[in-house]
Each structure stands twice: as structure tokens, then as C-alpha cells.
């Protein structure tokens, strides 16, 4: 079976993408697999200037998951373009850059810089990070703000497709999804991490220096699946599903509820080659199910 | 024991547990794994994740490479939480995902004089280093420990090595140990390299004494890690020259004077 997928203007060899924040700048994983085999590589969220992120401790393990409060540490857009992008196989695999700004102007400026880069296939706009004080989730929890950010990024992004990454930390994610669709988004990815907390009864302190963090991993998969399902029913944009995907079966579940593609995040930490092995596992499972094409399967969940 | 440069390729394999041997008392084990085709630098580490963990725990666990010998790759492990407890229950034939060797390790010339300062499980990376060192008479060890000495594989260390052990059972022992550290660092400064591994409070003291006596000291930091390959940014340490850097790829060994110790 041909497992390639179309994501608006983007054609992917397969529906498996990496999730921003869990795959570094891609190069970290070169010893463990062929980046060329992935549907797309989504790199660590970039800001205009380098960011140091939050104090330690920044991560803590929870049952079937983890909390992180990294705080978007990154080398900044210029250093990424100069030192990393050229080493990625962008000619054969779409490289999608996740971007983060504290203001709408930051988002516009980043989109403008990235719009001129041949090696950047699309932009993923992070309006859903729970771990930073300014920007991030404040844009993603209000439909008006989410739409405005989408508009300014679209205006500056030129011909690059714009994917808006949504937060689950809202009362109705479909409202935000429809707002960014109306504002011109080309695709939607969801979910980012769920707000969470872990505490230590011996020290009587929170486990994270930031007190709260974002929950990811298999623990959040049912939440993600529900939200992807709801959003797919309400918008006509391509939807990229993510949240706790760790097996081929998980991938097909997200496609069944309507996703066009998926991103693999925390599972990358269970083995550094996990995302690579998923590609062949998905192909094998699709064949086992007797599928001829994704069209026969995508969004065909029965009531 | 070969010294690798930091950019040689790493591998990720599913490998087999050969042997699990308890040491001293409950809670300390040596885990021997089938050996992949690689060499290592002492101080480098591996990530392991037993196949049967499924989704819980999610993270693998990082361990210093204790040594590579005819029984395979040896990891010296203390049971401290759920992950290490589950690892201690592995049996021969259990399958484990293994990636490494990771990090930079301790770089030194075999002709250098070495002073090793280790605390508790910080001894792990030095077992193979000492056993394979061509000139054990050039190596000195000061080892501080809280539990019985029989828990640690110190009887395996070469005869010709200078060794000093100090147990800390109370606050007064800690003060004495700190005095011993100060004396050894002061005496050794300028004679060779100091290599240190152990709990953060020990490394902080070693760092500050090394600065005081201008000793060339390298510390191996312990940190919680999710990926081990520099991607998750969960294990950062603050350095004076580069800000936050990943312990797993920029370390775990750092020059002591580059670390900014956070409270």
C-alpha cells in the first residue's frame, strides 16, 4: 500500500512526523535512523533570540507519561538557519519549523525570516506552550487572539503553509480550531501538552522548579484522540494528531478519527529510533487491515 | 578501554541480560549485558530500557559504564526508585533496549597522575578505569560512602593503587571527610588531574576546593534524563561560558570551574 499522505500543499512519504520539542534539531537522531524515511521532521520551537529556558529541575516522570517545563530553550532562528538547517535532508524530507514569539510582532518577524528559506517546508505556530510566561498559551486560549496570530503569520509566511498547534487546556478546542481556520491556517496540529503538576511529600516541594509543567506520553492519548476527533468534525483543514502516540496502532487510531498525519513525541525518548521503526510498522499494520489507501480508512470511525 | 572522540557513532540495540549479581547487601547489583560492537571512554554512559516496561515507566535509565569484561557490559546499580527496582529484578535472557556509549567521558593521558574522588555510586565509572589503567601506581582514590564498604566492588581495584576510604555515618564524619578532601586536593594541585563523581553536594565541595587550590578537576554530573541524546533538554547544567547545556551530550564530564552550581 502507498502510505504517502497529502497535507494541504505538502506531500509526505508517510504520515509519521516528529513532534517539536522532542526531536531536537533532528541532527541528534542521525546516528539512529534515516531522517529521509520520515514523513516530515518538525524541529524544536524557535524564537527570534536564543532562550535559556526554565531553571532545573525541568522534567519529571509520571505514570505512563512525563511532565516538562523546559521553557522553550533554543538557539534562536538565526543560529538554526546557519548551523542546523543545511545539515538536514530538506530536499527529500519536509522540514517544518515550529516557532514561538512573545508578541504578535515576534511571530510575524519569525514567519518573515523563515518564509525566505528554501529548506523550510512549512511553519508550525506554537500558541500552546504552557511553560512560558509571555506569549505561548495566552494566544492559544482565546479564539480572537489565536485568529490574530494566525493572520499575521499567514501574511508574513509568503507561500509557506502555516500549521497552528493547539492547546488542550481550553474549554472547547473546536472553537479555537474554527477561529484559526477562518483566519487562514493551512492545517492544525493538536494536542500540545496538558497542564499538570507533581509534588514530593518528603521535601514538600513541587517536583518542577517551574511548579507546573506539560503532561505528555501515553497517559494523554485518550484525551488527544477525543480532541482530534472533535476538531476533525468541525473543520475542513488537514489535522495532524499528536499526544501519546507510541505504536502503529495508535497512529491508525488517530487516522481513523480523521487525522491526516501524526506526530510522535515522548515515545522518541523510549528508544531514539522509535519514530523510524514506526514507519514500517504502520505500513505493515495497514496491510494487515487490508487497506488499499488512506482514503478508505481516514475519518471512517463508525458511530 | 579506548578513548573515543565525542562524535563517533552511537548505536541503539535490543540486547540480552547475561547476569545479575547482587553486591554486599540488598539494593546493589551488577548487571551484565550482551556487548554491542563498541568501545568506550570511562565516564561515558548508556541508556537502558527493559523491553517489558511497555508504557510505564516511560523513560529509560542512564547508567555509567562500569566496565566491559568477558561477562559483557557491566553496569553497577543501586536500587533507589521504581525503575532501578524493576531493573534489579531482570533475569538472564531478559531483553533490554540499550543505546550508547553516550556523553564525553573522562579524557586523560595514561601517563597523567590521577586523583579520583568518588562518593557512593560515583565509584561506578572508575572501576573499569582503574582495572584497565596501565599504571595503577599513578592513580589515587579517596572514596566516601554512607553504607557498608562491602556494597561496592572495591576489592577488584588493582593492588598497587593508593586507596583511602571514609564512611560517613553522621554530621561529624561529613566534616572530617571534607577536611580529607581539602587536604588531598591541596596536595595534589599541579601534580595531575582530579576526576570526581558522586552526589551533587560532594561535587559542589570538590569544585569549590579545586578553585581555591587551582587544581585541574573534572566532575561527572548526575542528572535525570529522558532521551540521553541531547534532544529533550531536560538534563541541563548551568555553565559559566555557555549557559544551560545538556548534561548528556556536553557532559556528563565538565571542567569543575565551568559549572555554575545552582542552589
Q: Could A73 and B244 be called an inter-chain contact, meaning their C-beta atoms sit closer than 8 Å? A: yes
C-alpha of A102 from chain center: 19
Model pLDDT, residue B11: 87
* Sign of the alpha-carbon torsion through A178, A183, A189, A193: negative
Model pLDDT, residue A133: 65
Model pLDDT, residue B8: 54
pLDDT digits (tens, 9 = 90+) for A244-257: 999 999 999 999 99
Give Cβ neighbours of residue A180 (< 8 Å, ≥ 6 apart).
Answer: A146, A147, A150, A164, A166, A188
- Locate B187 and state its grid cell: 596536595
DSSP SS3 for B137? helix
pLDDT digits (tens, 9 = 90+) for A6-34: 999 999 999 999 999 999 999 999 999 99
Model pLDDT, residue B4: 45
Q: Could A59 and B9 be called an inter-chain contact, meaning their C-beta atoms sit closer than 8 Å? A: no
B10 in A contact zone (CB under 8 Å): yes
- Locate A207 and state its grid cell: 517536583
Phi, psi at B115, each rounded to 5°: -115, 115
3-state secondary structure chain A: CCCCEEECCEEECCCEEECCCCCCCCHHHHHHCCHHHCCEEEEEEECCCCECCCCCCCEEEECCEEEECCCCCECCHHHHHHHHHHHCCCCCCCEEEEECCCCHHHHHHHHHHHHCCCCCCEEEEECCCCCCCCCCHHHHCCHHHHHHHHHHHHHHCCCCCEEEECCCCCCCHHHHHHHHHHCCCCEEEECCCEEEECEECCCCEECCCCCEEEEECHHHHHHHHHHHHHHHHHCCCCEEEECCCCCHHHHHHHHHCCCCEEEECCHHHHCCCHHHHHHHHHHHHHHHCCCCCHHHCCCCCCC
Q: Radius of gyration (Cα) for chain A, nearest Å?
A: 18
Model pLDDT, residue B263: 65
Model pLDDT, residue A128: 81
Q: What mean pLDDT comes out for the span A121-142?
A: 82
- The answer to whether the CB of A246 falls within 8 A of the CB of A271 is no
Rounded to a whole number, what is the distance in Å from the CA of B263 to chain A's nearest CA?
A: 10
Q: Could B55 and A218 be called an inter-chain contact, meaning their C-beta atoms sit closer than 8 Å? A: yes
Rounded to a whole number, what is the distance in Å from the CA of B19 to chain A's nearest CA?
A: 23
Confidence label for A134 from pLDDT (cuts 50, 70 and 90): low
- The answer to whether the CB of A14 falls within 8 A of the CB of A282 is yes
pLDDT digits (tens, 9 = 90+) for A207-234: 999 999 999 999 999 999 999 999 999 9
Q: Which chain A residue is nearest to residue B57, measuring alpha carbons?
A: A64
What was the ipTM of the complex prediction? 0.94
Residue corresponding to grid cell 507546573: A212
- Closest-CA residue to B60 (of B106, B7, B102): B102
**Residue B112 DSSP one-character state:** S
B60 in A contact zone (CB under 8 Å): yes
DSSP β-ladder status, B72-78 and B28-33:
antiparallel
Model pLDDT, residue B3: 47
d(CA B236, CA B223): 8
- Closest-CA residue to A136 (of A195, A222, A206, A207): A195
Q: Could B99 and A271 be called an inter-chain contact, meaning their C-beta atoms sit closer than 8 Å? A: yes
DSSP β-ladder status, B162-167 and B139-145:
parallel
pTM of the model: 0.95
Q: Which chain B residue is nearest to residue A58, measuring alpha carbons?
A: B234
pLDDT digits (tens, 9 = 90+) for A145-204: 999 999 999 999 999 999 999 999 999 999 999 999 999 999 999 999 999 999 999 999
Q: Which chain A residue is nearest to residue B7, measuring alpha carbons?
A: A31
Residue corresponding to grid cell 504520515: A15
**Residues of chain B where predicted confidence (pLDDT) is lower than 70:** 1-9, 26, 263
- The answer to whether the CB of A216 falls within 8 A of the CB of A61 is no
Amino acid at each position: 500500500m502507498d502510505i504517502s499522505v497529502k497535507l494541504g500543499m505538502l506531500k509526505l512519504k508517510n504520515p509519521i512526523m516528529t513532534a517539536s520539542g522532542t526531536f531536537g534539531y533532528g541532527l541528534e537522531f542521525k546516528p539512529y535512523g534515516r531522517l529521509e524515511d520520515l514523513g516530515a521532521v518538525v524541529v524544536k520551537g524557535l524564537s527570534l533570540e536564543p532562550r535559556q529556558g526554565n531553571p532545573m529541575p525541568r522534567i519529571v516522570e509520571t505514570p505512563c507519561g512525563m511532565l516538562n517545563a523546559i521553557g522553550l530553550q533554543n538557539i534562536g532562528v538565526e543560529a538554526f538557519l546557519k548551523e542546523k538547517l543545511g545539515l538536514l535532508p530538506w530536499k527529500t524530507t519536509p522540514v517544518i519549523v515550529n516557532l514561538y514569539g512573545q508578541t504578535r510582532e515576534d511571530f510575524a518577524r519569525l514567519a518573515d525570516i523563515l518564509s525566505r528559506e528554501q529548506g523550510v517546508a512549512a511553519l508550525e505556530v506554537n500558541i500552546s506552550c504552557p511553560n512560558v510566561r509571555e506569549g505561548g498559551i495566552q494566544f492559544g486560549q482565546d479564539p480572537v487572539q489565536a485568529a490574530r496570530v494566525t493572520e499575521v503569520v499567514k501574511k508574513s509566511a509568503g507561500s509557506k503553509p502555516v500549521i497552528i498547534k493547539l492547546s488542550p487546556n481550553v474549554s472547547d478546542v473546536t472553537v479555537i480550531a474554527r477561529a484559526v481556520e477562518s483566519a487562514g491556517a493551512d492545517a492544525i496540529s493538536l494536542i500540545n501538552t496538558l497542564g499538570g503538576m507533581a509534588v514530593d511529600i518528603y521535601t514538600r516541594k513541587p517536583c518542577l522548579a517551574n511548579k507546573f509543567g506539560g503532561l505528555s506520553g501515553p497517559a494523554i492519548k485518550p484525551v488527544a484522540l477525543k480532541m482530534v476527533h472533535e476538531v476533525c468534525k468541525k473543520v475542513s483543514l488537514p489535522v495532524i494528531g499528536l499526544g501519546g502516540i507510541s505504536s502503529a496502532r495508535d497512529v491508525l487510531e488517530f487516522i481513523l478519527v480523521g487525522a491526516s498525519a501524526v506526530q510522535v513525541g515522548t515515545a522518541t525518548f523510549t528508544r531514539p529510533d522509535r519514530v523510524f521503526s514506526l514507519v514500517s510498522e504502520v505500513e505493515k499494520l495497514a496491510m494487515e487491515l487490508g487497506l488499499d489507501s488512506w482514503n478508505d480508512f481516514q475519518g471512517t470511525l463508525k458511530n | 578501554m579506548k578513548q573515543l572522540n565525542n562524535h563517533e557513532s552511537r548505536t541503539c540495540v535490543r540486547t540480552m541480560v547475561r547476569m545479575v549479581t547482587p553486591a554486599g547487601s540488598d539494593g546493589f547489583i551488577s548487571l551484565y549485558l550482551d556487548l554491542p560492537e563498541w568501545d568506550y571512554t570511562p565516564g561515558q554512559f548508556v541508556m537502558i530500557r527493559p523491553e517489558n516496561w511497555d508504557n510505564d515507566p516511560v523513560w529509560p535509565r542512564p547508567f555509567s559504564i562500569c566496565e566491559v569484561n568477558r561477562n559483557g557490559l557491566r553496569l553497577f546499580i543501586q536500587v533507589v526508585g521504581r525503575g532501578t527496582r524493576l531493573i534489579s529484578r531482570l533475569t538472564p535472557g531478559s531483553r533490554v533496549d540499550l543505546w550508547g556509549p553516550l556523553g564525553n567521558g573522562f579524557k586523560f593521558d595514561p601517563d597523567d597522575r590521577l586523583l579520583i574522588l568518588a562518593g557512593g555510586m560515583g565509584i561506578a565509572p572508575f572501576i573499569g578505569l582503574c582495572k584497565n589503567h596501565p599504571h595503577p601506581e599513578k592513580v589515587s582514590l579517596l572514596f566516601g560512602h554512607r553504607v557498608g564498604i562491602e556494597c561496592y566492588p572495591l576489592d577488584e581495584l588493582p593492588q598497587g593503587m593508593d586507596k583511602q576510604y571514609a564512611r560517613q555515618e553522621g554530621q561529624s564524619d561529613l566534616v572530617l571527610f571534607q577536611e580529607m578532601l581539602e587536604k588531598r586536593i591541596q596536595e595534589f594541585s599541579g601534580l595531575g588531574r582530579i576526576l570526581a563523581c558522586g552526589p551533587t553536594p560532594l561535587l559542589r565541595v570538590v569544585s569549590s576546593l579545586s578553585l581555591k587550590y587551582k587544581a585541574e578537576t573534572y566532575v561527572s554530573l548526575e542528572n535525570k534524563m529522558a532521551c540521553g541524546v541531547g534532544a529533550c533538554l531536560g538534563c541541563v547544567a548551568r555553565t559559566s561560558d555557555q549557559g544551560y547545556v545538556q548534561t548528556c551530550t556536553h557532559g556528563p564530564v565538565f571542567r569543575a570551574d565551568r559549572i555554575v552550581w545552582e542552589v
